[in-house]
Structure formats: C-alpha cells, structure tokens
Structure 1
Amino acid sequence: MQALWMIAGALAFTLMGAVIKLLAASSFGAFELVFWRGVVGIGLMAAFLRWHRISPASGRFGMHASRSVVGTLAMFCWFYTLGPLSMGTAFTLNYTSPIFIALAVAAAARWRGDRQPSRGRLHFAMAASFAGVLLILRPSIGQGQELAFAIGLLGALLTAAAYLQVRALGRAGEPEWRTAFWFSVVNCLLAALAATAFGGWSPVSLADLPALLAIGVLAAIGQLCMTRAFGRGRTLLAANLQYSGVVFATMAGWILFGESHDLPELAGIALIVASGVGASLAPQTAARPASPSIEPLARSPR
C-alpha cells in the first residue's frame, strides 16, 4: 500500500506539471502560477487545519518565514523551467536536490567530527549526478535553454535548503499542515509582489479557472499521498519510489507535448535518478544516530 501512495503522489505532481506547462504556453507567467497555486493552497490547508483541529498560530514565525521564502523561490524556479524545458528535463533537474541535501548533511557531520563511512559512495553519487547533468545539458547548448537549465539547478539547490528547514520545523514540533498553510500564504504574497513588479498579470477567463484550480488541488493530493507514504512504511522504499515521477514526467511530455529525448539525454536522466537513489541509501554518520538522515524531498516546496 505504501508503494501505491508514493506512486499516486508522483503521478499527481506530474499532472500538476503538465497543467503548469499548458498554462505557461497560454501566456501565464511563473509568478502568476505560483500565486494561484498559493490561493488554492490556503483554502485547502486551512480546511486541513480545521479538520485536524490545529491552530495556524505558531511561536516559530521566523522559521516558518525562512522556510516559506526559500521554498517559494524554489517554486518560482521550477514553474519557470516547465515552460522552456521538456517535462522530463525539468523534473529531473528538480530531482537533483537530494545530492545537495547529501552534501549539506555530510558537511555538517564533518564539521561536528562524526565518522563518515559512506563518503566514497556519496562522492560517486555526486560524480554520477554531475555527469547526468552534462549529458542533459549537451543538446540545450545553442538552443537558448542555458538560462532555463541554470534556473532549474538553482531551484534544486533551493529545494534542498527548504527541505532541511522543513525537517527543522518538524523536529521543533510544528505540524506539517501548519507548515504547508504558511507556505501557501507566502506563495501568494511573494508571487503577487513579483508579478506586479516584474511579470504583469494575464487576464483570467472562466475557461482558465479549472486549470488554475487543478494546480493547487493536485499539489495538495501529491503532498498528502507522499506524506502518507513516508509515514506508513519504510522510508528508503518511499524515497526511491518517488523517482517514478521522472518516468511519469518523461512519458507525459512525450504523449501530451510531443517531446522526445535522444539516447544521451535518457542516459543523463537515468544517471541523475540513480545518483539520487544512491545518495538516499548512503548513511551519513556512524557516531551519532540522531543526526538528520537523508530522505529525498517529499516535494515539500511544491
């Protein structure tokens, strides 16, 4: 059952990505799409808080604000890349975040003086991921996609930072739905400011409303499914099954948008997925079992 929850979550996020790509093609900018995702998210997360009788008030405003700002910036990057890049490429770049998480946790362990018996495995995973990025980047050079590619990697880095902040909030006793609620609030605020200052606003017709609503609903479904998957079984199984999202995204890009990938690109995608799985399997310390483990992001910035 755990496998089904994770696969369902990955599928929900893939469908959300497809809707975003469709809307981006009809002149909606990344800032506007993040805004509408936040509007729907506020309503849904408020309903979850009420259902679970959780107050939105928190004494950790600074932690929530920092996590939400970093996560929103990561979302700006990811939503933007879904426009110019193929779905498979955009999703794969976002899934490099576990490598950045692994680096951060390993650096913290080294600073504390903990033993790191898996350092060689981590270095191998990093090298494989870098090789995968180069293979995917190869056809992008000269096609005007270099900026989108760089923004995708920046988004993965920010996603990793946001995930580590989510872990800190969880360890501080903050309910996940409260964290998601304030994340949606900051989505709205920052996206509204950014759209007004830089991108402008596109007219919204009645025909656009179902798609805009679907972004927030699919994000909530994906988040709920993946939360259940991580909470009801083996963490590593759930962490590795989430990479099914890359397969779903590549297939969706091919079926819905006629996107294709050559053999080196597919090899690059496979390398990044394999390196992320390897990073998730690598224990980071032997001296302090209570240290943060590497659990690939359960799509928290989305």
Structure 2
Amino acid sequence: MPSLWMLFASFAFAAMGAGVKLASEFYTTSELLFYRGLIGSVILFAMVRHRGGSFRTPFPKEHLFRSLVGVTSLWLWFFAIGKLPLATAMTLNYMAPIWIAAGLFLAGWWSKTNTVEWPLIVAVGASFFGVTLVLQPAVESHQWLGGLAGICSSVISAMAYMQVRKLGQMGEPEYRVVFYFSLTTMVAGLAGVLAGDGQQVGMPFHGHTTGGAVLLLGIGAAALMAQMAMTRAYRVGKVLVVANLQYTGIVFSSLWGLALWGDRFDWHVWLGIGVILASGIAATFYNTKSTPKGAAIKKTDPIASEL
C-alpha cells in the first residue's frame, strides 16, 4: 500500500505540472502560485478543523525558512514548466536528492567526519552529464533560461527538503508543514502579482474563463492530494522504496507531454533522463544511510496519522 500511495503522489504531481503548463498560457507565474496556495490552504484548513487538529506550532522560524525556500523553488519550477517540455522540467526538478547527497558529503568532508564516498561522487558526476544531455536541445532552441530556472529550482528544493526533514525530526506533524507552505505560497504569489507580475496596473489579476478556473482548481487539488499521499507513503512505508518511486513522476510527465503536446525527444534526451534517474536513485541510497530517522509524532495529535 505505501508503494501505491507514492505512485499516486507521483501521478498527481505530474498532473499538477501538466495543469501548470496549460494554465501558463492564461496566467502569470505569480498568479499560479497564488491560486495554488489559496486552494490548498482552504481545503487543508477545512479538513484539519473538521478533524479537530491544531495549527499552533512551537517552531515558527523553522516553518518560515522552509516555506520561503520552498516558495522560491516552486516559483522557479513553475517558470521552467512554462518554458520547457514537461518531462524536461520535471527531470531537472527531481535533481534535488542529488544536491542533498552532495551537500551531505561536502559537510562531512569539511568536518572530516565522513570518508570519501566514491559511489556518490560517481552519481553526482553522472547526473551533471545527464543534465548536459537533457539541456542540449533546450539551449539550442533558446530555452536556456527555463533550463537554468529548473536547475536552480532543484538546488533550492534540496534546501527545503532538508528543512522538512529537520521539522520531522523535531516531531512536527506534516499537515502543519504543508499548511504553512501553502499559506506562504499564497502570500508570495499575491505579492508577486501586486508587484507587477500580473496583467496590468489597476487590474493585476487576469480574468477567468471556465477552462482557466477548472485548471486552477485542478492544480490546487492535485498538489494537495500529492503532498498528502506522499506524506502517508513516507509515514507507513520503507523510506528507500518510497523515495525511489518518486522518480516514476518523470515517466508520468513524459506521458502527459506526449498526450497533450506531442512532445518528442531525441535519444540523447532520453539517455540524459535515464542517467539523472539512476543517479537520483543512487543518491537516495546515500541519503537514507546518512540521515537519522525523524522523531515520532505525539499521539495527542488527533490527525497526525491521517495527513
């Protein structure tokens, strides 16, 4: 069952990415962030209140840092999705475990607490080779800005994952992490729209069509379901198995791209995706071995095991 939860999460994240790419024709990146955060916050708030949960947290600074880096990563990722083929943008974003592994290795090397992990060095080096294969057509077609945004998104996403891991080790339930992240996403998106990343002065938001509204609702709902399913998978399943299954999102994204936009890739792009996927799995092995398990969530939380 944990494997099915993670497969569903990967499918939902890919569906969200497809929705973002479709909606980017009608809304700006900041607008998409705002609606994604708004819909997720409202739905999760209603669910938690209905189950009697609490949003009070003893770690406001940690939540703020996690949310800010997470929103920055999400903004860059949404921007990349609008500029690149969906599978390419998803693959670049999924480099986060590689950056985490590299960061852990460098930290251990600097503090002289770890020996050289040659398999990790090979995995990180191979991932960069994979990126060059994936980005070659993007650079040639003047999509280099989207590719750069995708890579930066994965680097910052790695920082967000490390902070989520820290919050888990401190015993913070995941639904609070998801809620405060969604809330910050909404505020950041609104700030971006009001700052000028909107339609025009005096009318910052684009008008809605039926199709646009459906896409926005789908993005918010898919993102929330994906996060909840992923949380459940990590809670009840084996970390290594669950973490590796997230890479099925690349396959789902490729299928979405093929079905909706007729995306066709040369052999070197598929080779690059495969290399990054294999490198990510290798990095996940390293991360799993190098990271202590998080603290158990207190039994007094009435919905900690549900979200």
Task: Determine if the TM-score, normalized by the shorter chain, exceeds 0.5.
Answer: yes
Equivalent residue in structure 2 for 1:150, among 117, 123, 148: 148
Distance 1:130 1:234 in 2: 28
Q: Deviation string for 1:181-204 (max 9, x for gaps)? A: 111111111111112213112112
Distance 1:11 1:284 in 2: 23
Unaligned runs of 5+ residues in structure 2 are 199-204, 295-307
Equivalent residue in structure 1 for 2:194, among 179, 193, 196: 196
Q: Contact 1:115–1:285 (CA<8 Å) still a contact in 2?
A: no
Q: Contact 1:114–1:285 (CA<8 Å) still a contact in 2?
A: no
Output the TM-score relative to the length of structure 1.
Answer: 0.90
1:251 aligns with 2:249: no
Match of 1:232 in 2: 236
Equivalent residue in structure 2 for 1:270, among 269, 274, 278: 274
Match of 1:84 in 2: 83
Distance 1:169 1:284 in 2: 17
Match of 1:166 in 2: 164
Query: RMSD value over aligned CA atoms?
Result: 1.8
| Deviation of 1:113 (Å) | 3.1
Distance 2:267 2:154 in 1: 24
Structure 2 counterparts to residues 1-302 of structure 1, below 5 A: 1-25=1-25, 27-116=26-115, 119-200=117-198, 201-282=205-286, 290=292
Q: Contact 1:125–1:279 (CA<8 Å) still a contact in 2?
A: yes
Distance 2:211 2:250 in 1: 29
Secondary structure of 2:83 counterpart: coil
Q: Which moved more, 1:120-129 or 1:48-57?
A: 48-57
* Corresponding letter in the other structure for 1:260: R
* Corresponding letter in the other structure for 2:87: G
| Deviation of 1:112 (Å) | 3.9
| Deviation of 1:111 (Å) | 3.8
* Corresponding letter in the other structure for 1:164: M
Match of 1:297 in 2: none
| Deviation of 1:283 (Å) | 5.8
Structure 1 residues 291 and 8 mapped into 2: Cα distance closer, same or farther (>3 Å)?
closer
* Corresponding letter in the other structure for 2:2: Q
Distance 2:226 2:108 in 1: 32
Q: Deviation string for 1:112-162 (max 9, x for gaps)? A: 432336x10110001110000000111122312011100100000110000
* Corresponding letter in the other structure for 2:147: F
Distance 1:197 1:283 in 2: 39
| Deviation of 1:284 (Å) | 7.6
Distance 1:44 1:217 in 2: 8
Q: Deviation string for 1:197-219 (max 9, x for gaps)? A: 13112112344222111111111
Q: Contact 1:2–1:238 (CA<8 Å) still a contact in 2?
A: yes
Q: How many residues align?
A: 288
Output the TM-score relative to the length of structure 2.
Answer: 0.89
Structure 1 residues 263 and 207 mapped into 2: Cα distance closer, same or farther (>3 Å)?
closer
Structure 1 residues 207 and 254 mapped into 2: Cα distance closer, same or farther (>3 Å)?
closer
Distance 1:158 1:172 in 2: 21
| Deviation of 1:247 (Å) | 0.6
Q: Contact 1:38–1:187 (CA<8 Å) still a contact in 2?
A: yes
Q: Contact 2:100–2:287 (CA<8 Å) still a contact in 1?
A: no
* Corresponding letter in the other structure for 2:163: Q
Q: Deviation string for 1:33-90 (max 9, x for gaps)? A: 0100000111122123224433212222111111101100100011111111001100
Structure 1 residues 76 and 270 mapped into 2: Cα distance closer, same or farther (>3 Å)?
same
Structure 1 residues 177 and 218 mapped into 2: Cα distance closer, same or farther (>3 Å)?
same
| Deviation of 1:29 (Å) | 1.2
Q: Contact 2:11–2:249 (CA<8 Å) still a contact in 1?
A: yes
Secondary structure of 2:24 counterpart: helix
